[in-house]
């Protein structure tokens, strides 16, 4: 039986709690939070422990806290003898204070409040300080997902950067598109099929091959018309810059 | 039996041919292209007609040609007595030269070479000049998709603009993300689950609510680190501008 404690009470901590529940051979023995209020959500699921209380020993401690808190929180774990793994894309493994069994257990996904999800296709990116810990984390990750990857801190940083483009920025473009429709009293769900199709297409071809649209075709008349239609200066600048970037990529073909 | 002719031989024309095949009560009687070469793809499926030959009469003519060609091509259809519908998001219905039975039949989707798709969830946006033609187009659209919308030229222009953000620009962000990974010899498919999840999420909440990431949190340390990691000036500027735009939207919450 592998015993686990989780530090943190946010979206990711909730995801871990929901995911660990029901995996045979893994036992969540406690969740550690700053306040009773924050811990309330987990009542009845596992032991609730305040950050200033003594933390129980376990095979693995998952630090599901914000990037900025990782170092500080790990300072308080000096007596913990198991593996300590943070779950961040952008934080170096060495930010964990206690040396010896530091690790990273990073799920490449964006977790939203109130929405636990199946992790089966989510890459879980693992890094260890102590090679003997690798197998433990790999086996645990393998229970959660079919995609387990060993990735070091340097590469993980780039993976996280790429994820910001593919998720955060993409979502903001969805938001701009929905705003444009709402302003004209058009139903934002009109875009749903298009958005799904755009995402699904990258499973069969590279995004570079899949590119279409006025900028890809060098259709400057449509681009000009579009920019004149946008009354938000920042959104208009986004249109200009992204069109320019697309045209740079396909320059030689035009 | 509703008879149809198609002008055009590109991705959209191929999609129409594949979609019409097998719909009971609809008969594709010919496809009209500029050259024998362009028409070759359709051999054995329907009559092949050159643009300078006489165009057969039919109930409906779909103009699946580039935006710039719509007006010019429609000038050659002066003897056609059926409905003439162009299929463009951004072109006004009045760009069709022959008056009387002009129409628009615009599928809100991006069509890729060699990849016909099921249209069942794709909104088909209809506009007619002659109200008596509305029912014909609605019925035809209803055979192709569950989502049929009557949308005028002005609104359709905004729909197309929104689609550029939601599809073309989004795909370019995927492309940047994949490029970042390739440069570090990381597998671009690592992003697949994240990209699918980002797209699926908009079915359950607005993109505005779904936003996550460093800019959303106001995490300027991570944003700074990220921008220093990008060695492509345009991509770096895209990072800065999109982060700024996200921060403007959520300014009051930060």
pLDDT computed for residue A117 by the predictor: 85
Interface of B with A in 189-208 (CB under 8 A): 190-208
pLDDT digits (tens, 9 = 90+) for B25-82: 999 999 999 999 999 999 999 999 999 999 999 999 999 999 999 999 999 999 999 9
Chain A, nearest residue to B213 by Cα: A168
What is the mean pLDDT of the segment spanning A120-125? Answer: 96
The SS3 of residue B223 is helix
Flag whether residue A129 sits within 8 Å of chain B, measured between CB atoms.
no
Angstrom distance (rounded) from CA A16 to CA A41: 13
- Give the per-residue pLDDT at A252: 66
Residue B249: Cβ-neighbour burial (10 angstroms; 0-12, 13-18, 19+): middle
Contact A199 B202 (CB under 8 A): no
What is residue A254's predicted lDDT score, i.e. its pLDDT?
Answer: 57
Residues of chain B with pLDDT > 90: what percent?
Answer: 92
- Does A247 contact chain B (CB < 8 Å)? no
Looking at residue B111, its pLDDT comes to 87
- Average pLDDT of chain B to the nearest whole number: 95
Q: pLDDT tens across B169-215, in order?
A: 999 999 999 999 999 999 999 999 999 999 999 999 999 999 999 99
Segment B145-163 mean pLDDT: 98
Neighboring chain B residues of A158 at a CB cutoff of 8 Å = 180-181, 183-184, 186, 229
CB contact under 8 A, B213 and A110: yes
Cα distance between residue A117 and residue A174, in whole Å? 21
CA distance A45 to B124: 48
CA atoms within 13 A on the CB side of A112: 21
Predicted TM-score of the model (pTM): 0.94
The predicted-structure confidence for A146-201, as pLDDT tens digits, reads as follows 999 999 999 999 999 999 999 999 999 999 999 999 999 999 999 999 999 999 99
| ipTM confidence score | 0.94
d(CA A134, CA A195): 38
SS3 A136: helix
With beta carbons under 8 A apart, name residues in chain B contacting A235: 245
Percent of chain A with pLDDT over 70: 99
Residue B135 has pLDDT above 60, yes or no: yes
Per-residue model confidence (pLDDT) at position B117: 85
Does the beta-carbon distance from B216 to A110 stay under 8 Å?
no
Residues forming beta bridges with residue A4, ordered by sequence position: A28, A60
- Contact of B67 with chain A, judged by CB distance below 8 Å, is answered with yes
pLDDT band at A73; cut points 50, 70, 90: very high
pLDDT value at A91 more than 60 = yes
Q: What does the pLDDT average to over B216-229?
A: 94
Asked whether the predicted pLDDT for residue B254 surpasses 60, the reply is no
Residue A136: HSE in the Cβ half-sphere, 13 Å Cα cutoff: 24
- Work out the pLDDT band at A116, boundaries 50, 70, 90: confident
Assess whether pLDDT exceeds 90 at residue B107: yes
Where would I find the H helices in chain A? 11-20, 36-39, 70-75, 134-144, 153-163, 170-183, 192-201, 207-210, 214-217, 220-229, 233-249
Tokens of A56: 């129980």
The reported pLDDT for the residue numbered A171 is: 98
* All residues at 6 or more sequence positions from B117 whose CB lies less than 8 Å from its CB, including other chains: A197, B15, B109, B111
A47 touches B: beta carbon within 8 Å: no
Query: How much is the pLDDT for A99?
Result: 84
- Average pLDDT taken over every residue of chain A: 95
CA B54 to chain A, closest CA, distance in angstroms equals 31
pLDDT reported for residue A182: 97
Give the pLDDT score at B9.
Answer: 96
The helix (H) or strand (E) run that includes residue A1 is none
Mutate to test the interface with B, among A161, A185, A210, A241 (most CBs of B within 10 A): A161
Question: At B253, is the pLDDT very low, low, confident or very high (cuts 50, 70, 90)?
Answer: low
């Amino acid at each position: 039986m592998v015993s686990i404690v989780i530090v943190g009470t946010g979206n990711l901590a909730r995801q871990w709690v929901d995911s660990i529940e029901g995996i045979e051979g893994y036992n969540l023995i406690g969740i550690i939070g700053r306040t009773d209020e924050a811990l309330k959500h987990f009542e009845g699921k596992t032991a609730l422990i305040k950050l200033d209380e003594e933390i129980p020993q376990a095979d693995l401690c998952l630090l599901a806290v914000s990037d900025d808190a990782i170092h500080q929180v790990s300072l308080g774990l000096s007596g913990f003898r198991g593996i300590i793994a943070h779950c961040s894309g952008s934080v170096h493994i060495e930010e964990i204070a206690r040396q010896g069994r530091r690790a990273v257990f990073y799920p490449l996904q964006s977790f939203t409040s109130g929405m636990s999800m199946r992790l089966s296709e989510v890459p879980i990116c693992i890094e260890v300080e102590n090679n003997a810990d690798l197998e433990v984390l790999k086996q645990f990750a393998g229970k959660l997902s079919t995609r387990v990857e060993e990735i070091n801190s340097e590469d993980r940083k780039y993976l996280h950067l790429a994820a910001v483009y593919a998720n955060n920025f993409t979502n903001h473009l969805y938001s701009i598109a929905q705003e444009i429709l709402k302003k004209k009293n058009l139903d934002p769900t009109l875009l749903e099929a298009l958005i799904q199709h755009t995402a699904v297409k990258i499973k069969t071809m590279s995004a570079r091959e899949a590119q279409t649209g006025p900028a890809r075709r060098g259709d400057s008349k449509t681009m000009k018309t579009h920019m004149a239609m946008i009354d938000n200066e920042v959104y208009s600048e986004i249109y200009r810059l992204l069109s320019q970037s697309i045209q740079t990529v396909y320059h030689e073909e035009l």
